[in-house]
Structure 1
């Protein structure tokens, strides 16, 4: 009796397996398709050419504007000449149109988007040497205007970081770079703050280390970390205290 039941049980199991095969095959196919879809979706990002700049340039700056376009300023042309030319690139059309030129030709400058949508251009260098001048681009007029006050120190390869207050922290940089020998420089260990509402630069603040070609990272607690720039040191700027 028990032997008969065992045989019947085995037949039932075999029948269930046969009936389940189509379902399992469908399930396997569905899983395979889903995995293939995920793999396809997570494949390497594709880089597409959006368009071309109006001018060949290098060591320039490109700043995203509030309306989604990009302001491209300065740099060197193919002849190695530092230029004042600016243009605006529209990623929606892939076209770049000439903007008014900057007041001063610059390379290794900074271009920082301000809270009101304007762009602050500071420092850099050209054939005359390092620059302490600054100018502001107004997208509503498409023109640059000189900032009445100059930086306390001429700088190139520095950083300019927008703080939550709307002011801009300008730190480090090369003081006397030459276009012939970029390494023949004096590096500054100072910083200063630009106030857009007043159009002025504040007093110099000392860094812990001199640096140029460094990075400046703004954190949510309104501190700015400066890293590297000829050394491996990291230091932070506390905007509330106004010191490093």
Structure 2
């Protein structure tokens, strides 16, 4: 990479790896500052190219790949102050064809570490994350790509951050685990129906989890693995959610306890 980066967001798009900075590792402040730089690396080489910078410096933000190939950057935390980095309500869109970031609408509620997913109609749902005083929030909004504006929709049943958010094959969205507004880990799970604008609590997982992975399998089920605080303890356990029954089933253990890890569905399933 052309610039030192910490806690970066990485996406693989058309066999090129996009790296979006979150923290500037060259900072000498007690609180590491946010960064706005982006790099692209070809999968077949070691070369990196510096892309257009985001309009605002941000870390702990969400990045969604839109169905038209553009990227939506949502919220996060910005420039450091003497006490903390202020959360952001702003959003911006990156067009890889023009290599340009464009300011989009501002959320009604600023948030860091939110979770977001593109819905079947191309709109983007964002929910949860850290809000005022860094406490988790249940607030939910939907972004319309045709206008760039955000609309407030139904709140989740409980505040969450550091949780999984997956769109199901039937168009609904499932929120999995996370931590609440008191920092307590939760095993609770709820599903959002965009047609009815309602969140419904369903059967919880067997384990409480934060910073876990949530992976959609080829048959539509969801595999959840690991999780735990950054300083431990981590989890080895895995569970599978079946949307047809809305039930969880224990799926064994990984060989190593993990948190803030990644999981990738392989070609053979």
| Alignment check: 8 A CA contact 1:172 1:211 kept | yes
Q: For 1:43 and 1:115, how far apart are their aligned partners in 2? A: 33
RMSD: 1.6
Matched residue, 1:97: 102
Q: Distance in 2 between matches of 1:48 and 1:239?
A: 42
Q: What does 1:26-175 correspond to in 2, within 5 Å?
A: 43-79=44-80, 80-128=85-133, 129-147=135-153, 149-175=154-180
Please tell me whether the aligned partners of residues 52 and 94 of structure 1 are also in contact (alpha carbons under 8 angstroms): no
* 1:186-239 alpha-carbon deviations (Å, 9 max, x no partner): 101110011111111112421110001110000111110111112111000001
Corresponding residue number in structure 1 for 2:212: 214
Task: Quickly say closer, same or farther: Cα 1:43–1:122, change in 2 above 3 A.
Answer: closer
Which stretches of structure 1, 4 residues or longer, exceed 4 Å deviation after superposition?
A: none
- Report the CA distance between 1:127 and its aligned residue: 2.4
Query: Normalised by the size of structure 1, how large is the TM-score?
Result: 0.77
CA distance in 2, matches of 1:198, 1:206: 22
- 1:100 is displaced (CA, Å) by 1.1
Gaps of 5+ in 1: 1-40, 178-184
Distance in 2 between residues matched to 1:47 and 1:118, nearest whole Å: 32
The CA distance in 1 between the partners of 2:148 and 2:44, in whole Å, is: 40
Q: Does 1:237 align with 2:232?
A: no
Please state how far the C-alpha of 1:44 moved relative to its aligned partner: 2.9
Q: After TM superposition, give the deviation of residue 42 of structure 1 in Å.
A: 8.5
Measure, in 1, the Cα distance between the counterparts of 2:55 and 2:119: 25
SS of corresponding position for 1:237: strand
TM-score if structure 2 supplies the norm length?
0.70
The correspondence of residues 156-195 of structure 1 with structure 2, limited to 5 A, is 156-176=161-181, 185-195=183-193
**How far apart are 1:133 and its partner, in Å?**
1.0
Match of 1:18 in 2: none
Distance 2:43 2:100 in 1: 30
Distance in 1 (alpha carbons) for counterparts of 2:214 and 2:246: 15
- Whether the 8 Å contact between 2:202 and 2:246 is mirrored in structure 1 is no
Gap runs ≥5 in structure 2: 1-41, 229-234, 249-269
Larger radius of gyration between Structure 1 and Structure 2: 1
Q: 1:126 to 1:221 in 2, by over 3 A?
A: same
Q: How many matched pairs?
A: 196
Structure number having the greater helix percentage: 1
